[in-house]
Structure 1
Amino acid sequence: MKLKYIPGGICAPTGFTAGATHCGVRPNKKKNDLAIILSDRNADCVSAGLYTTNRVKAAPVQLDMETGRSGHCRAICVNSGIANACTPYGMERALEMQQAAAEALGIPADEVLVGSTGIIGKELNINRIREGIDVVAHNLEHTEDASNEVAHAILTTDTFKKELACRFQVGGRTVTLGGISKGSGMVHPNMGTTLTYLTTDLAITSTMLRQVLKEVCDVTFNRVSIDGEMSTNDSLIILANGLADNEIIDRECRDLDLFREALLDICTRFARMIAKDGEGAKHLVTCTVHGASTEEEAVALAKSVIQSTLTKTAVFANDANWGRIMVAMGYSNIPFNPEHVRIDFVSEAGEITVCRNGVGVDIDEDYASEILGEDEIEIRITIDNGNASATCWGCDITYDYIKLNGNYRK
């Protein structure tokens, strides 16, 4: 399929507007902390969402899980700076935020989803939220700048915005898919990750939209781990308003396959961005396992490696300490024969085999360090259990991770 990446982010698809402002949730007045995404009121917008499986869920997540059951939401209102989690009035504040957005946008409250990200345990100042909503709702735009502002507004410890849009053909119609994402720390998701908001003008039923979102999430966002911590606020939401005017997708078909392919591509890119932007990280670490019995076993092995603190520190030091990888594989609870393991390190600087048949091989340590010195590296593992493979993404751990999280509330 021909997929073309374009500017515009969440505002690239037909019929979507957005905007952001600083309302005072965050003390830094130069940083926007409130944003709204809205589909055209005249469109039949459908929605789907996936959320954290942490038993401790923030109020906005709990509210969205209930509101989103209808599959017919058209707006998202989100703040950064405070997570609205674990507070006495969390649900009350989330409902007030939803109602304020609905009134300002002139749509029913049950068509509005809300989101929050930031410090857990602090009370959300709903009066500032209301004031900010009124400002944003009257200044929504269908522009590249508007998407850019929203992409920045949802960031917390991220070092760069995560914003993408692409175009492709479905049934002879041009379809656009856009999105923004945030995620840098407390990333170890299941069924969703960080905050990721996607928009598309594809015509599709909410049932099929959720099915494809779940499939894609499982092989992209759910294969990222930065620090082994699962957030209370993880949300992955997509809005589809049908304004591309393609024949509505309501079953498995070629058109659904085309959308699935586009969604997989854009979500893979977001997953890699999140891993690369791990708090304090210097390396994006890709781990690919070949030769597993099943894809699930390959995922478990790869995740065990990218989650290994000792492996992370070795990568930080550009140290080809493959023994730590073997150890991480060994406690994954996946059966394999250590004597049949091969490990390679790969980057733009080259590739090197460091372990063959479960034992180390003589290597040029300086060359190995050069390979591991690149910003993006791959740990390639081969076992002999079968023909399945899988890729997961993570990062190294540095001194800056401790500094950032040690001073997070200061």
Structure 2
Amino acid sequence: MEVIKGGVTAAKGFEAAAAAAGIKYQDRTDMALIYSKKPCKTAGTFTTNLVKAAPVKWDKKIVDEKQKSQAVVINSGIANACTGAEGYEYCRETAEEAADILGVDKDGVLIGSTGVIGMQLPIEKLKKGIELLSKKKGSAIENGTEAAKAIMTTDTCEKEIAVTIEIGGKTVTIGGMAKGSGMIHPNMCTMLSFLTTDAVISRKAMCAALRSDVEDTYNMISVDGDTSTNDTVLLLANGMAGNEKIKLDTEAYEKFKEALHYVNEYLAKKIAGDGEGATALFEAKVTGAKTKEQAKVLAKAVVCSNLTKAAIAGHDANWGRILCAMGYAGAEFDPEKVDLAFESAAGKIEIIKNGVAVDYSEEKATEILSSPEITVTADIKEGDKWASAWGCDLTHGYIDINADYRS
């Protein structure tokens, strides 16, 4: 596998664009388009929140009915959530407008929205935005980057990546872009992820690969514990790489799944590290577990703990908060067997051994915890399974952003 420059336009046959439609923001682009020259098989996972945004319902119907797609239209600023029949009708109008302008099947036009909940979309601005997007779309790396910027809300940076693998002598590419900064606690925030590939792959294989991998990537991040109404991960495959079809339970499938995991984990970590007001990406890694599920439950509890997140913000090696979070996580373990260590680019330091503090330097611990990427490793010494979860520190900046988000 090779990491290459680019995002959603890296795979053959995919184009993208960004436009300023003035949906909510007046000083930046706020609409994006992903377009494929050939119809794509689609796979997707969606929020488990009972309150689902209109575009989530729209996209889920397309994926469930196995419709092929050639276009994804995304807007930022307004989430089109809790908007009733009118909001869903706007999805239909958006799809029809995109189909008419782009010359694609309206039944396969996917839609993504992110932003304020409860507001209706200014549909005429949205339609004009689609026309702008159609004129600006292209396959250059920059087109993908601009699209990644256009879907941002409180994000501080765009999030994109692309990789290539070789399957049967053919180069297969997977690219992706994502957005997310607050309301991040996926259960499949406002988290959106769009993945493109030119692989020839069976629908069964691509759906299985995506659904299983989401559990170990996007579902293992948390910024604030809020599962959004709009969480969506979409994977589009247009088959233009010309490889032999990838099928379930084959060597080619495992290679594709590994590459997809790399892309998803990269984007998930980018979202976690860009949490609203955050200054550090915080990884909790639990090793020595009996089962992977046990490790996942314990790791997720640590990154979700507000007390632990606040300690990370203060560069304070307050390990008691970590052990406490593990204790109420709901997975059994023996606290008197736990080894705990902090690690970053500044070094590694053991904090507790068999559940008891060791003689460590608070100054060195503070130095390690002052890095922009920090890992705490907890070895519970019960087996050989492990899992990681990712979050961020909790600062005053989170309150500053969310206290007046609508205004």
Short-chain TM bin: over 0.9
- Local SS of the residue matching 1:288: strand
| Aligned residue identity for 1:99 | E
Identity %, equivalent residues: 45
Greater alpha carbon shift after TM alignment, 243-252 vs 152-161: 243-252
| Aligned residue identity for 2:13 | G
- Local SS of the residue matching 2:205: helix
Question: What is the rounded CA distance, in whole Å, between the counterparts of 1:270 and 1:139 in structure 2?
Answer: 25
Question: What is the rounded CA distance, in whole Å, between the counterparts of 1:8 and 1:288 in structure 2?
Answer: 29
The alpha carbon displacement at 1:409 in A equals: 1.3
The alpha carbon displacement at 1:398 in A equals: 0.2
Corresponding position of 1:54: 49
337 and 251 in structure 1: CA distance in 2 versus 1, 3 angstrom threshold: closer
The alpha carbon displacement at 1:26 in A equals: 2.1
| Aligned residue identity for 2:316 | D
The alpha carbon displacement at 1:191 in A equals: 1.3
Q: What is the aligned counterpart of 2:348 among 351, 361, 373? A: 351
> Once superposed, which parts of structure 1, at least 4 consecutive aligned residues long, lie more than 3 Å away?
none
| Aligned residue identity for 1:240 | A
| Aligned residue identity for 1:65 | K
Q: For the aligned residues, what is the CA RMSD?
A: 1.2
- Local SS of the residue matching 1:9: coil
> TM-score normalized by structure 1?
0.97
Q: What is the aligned counterpart of 2:142 among 138, 141, 145? A: 145
Corresponding position of 1:74: 70
Question: What is the rounded CA distance, in whole Å, between the counterparts of 2:9 and 2:174 in structure 1?
Answer: 9
| Aligned residue identity for 2:387 | A
Q: What is the aligned counterpart of 2:21 among 10, 20, 23? A: 23
Corresponding position of 2:261: 264
Q: What is the aligned counterpart of 1:104 among 90, 93, 101? A: 101
- Aligned residue pairs, count: 405
| Structural mapping, 1:385-404, within 5 Å | 385-404=382-401
CA contact (8 A) 1:18 1:147 kept: yes
Unaligned runs of 5+ in 2: none
CA contact (8 A) 2:183 2:189 kept: no
| Structural mapping, 1:230-379, within 5 Å | 230-379=227-376
| Aligned residue identity for 1:255 | A
1:256-311 deviation line (CA, Å, top 9, x unaligned): 11111111111111111111101110111111001111100100000000000000
| Aligned residue identity for 1:182 | K
1:374-407 deviation line (CA, Å, top 9, x unaligned): 1111010011222211011111100100101112
The alpha carbon displacement at 1:193 in A equals: 7.4
Corresponding position of 1:122: 119
Unaligned runs of 5+ in 1: none
Q: What is the aligned counterpart of 2:12 among 11, 14, 17? A: 14
The alignment status of 1:204 with 2:217, answered yes or no, reads no
CA contact (8 A) 1:22 1:32 kept: yes
Corresponding position of 1:90: 87
The alignment status of 1:45 with 2:43, answered yes or no, reads no
- Local SS of the residue matching 2:136: coil
| Aligned residue identity for 1:210 | C
Question: What is the rounded CA distance, in whole Å, between the counterparts of 2:130 and 2:275 in structure 1?
Answer: 30
CA contact (8 A) 1:25 1:33 kept: yes
| Structural mapping, 1:187-202, within 5 Å | 187-191=184-188, 194-202=191-199
> TM-score normalized by structure 2?
0.97
Question: What is the rounded CA distance, in whole Å, between the counterparts of 1:135 and 1:333 in structure 2?
Answer: 51
CA contact (8 A) 1:50 1:192 kept: no
| Structural mapping, 1:211-230, within 5 Å | 211-230=208-227
Corresponding position of 1:136: 133
Question: What is the rounded CA distance, in whole Å, between the counterparts of 2:204 and 2:71 in structure 1?
Answer: 18
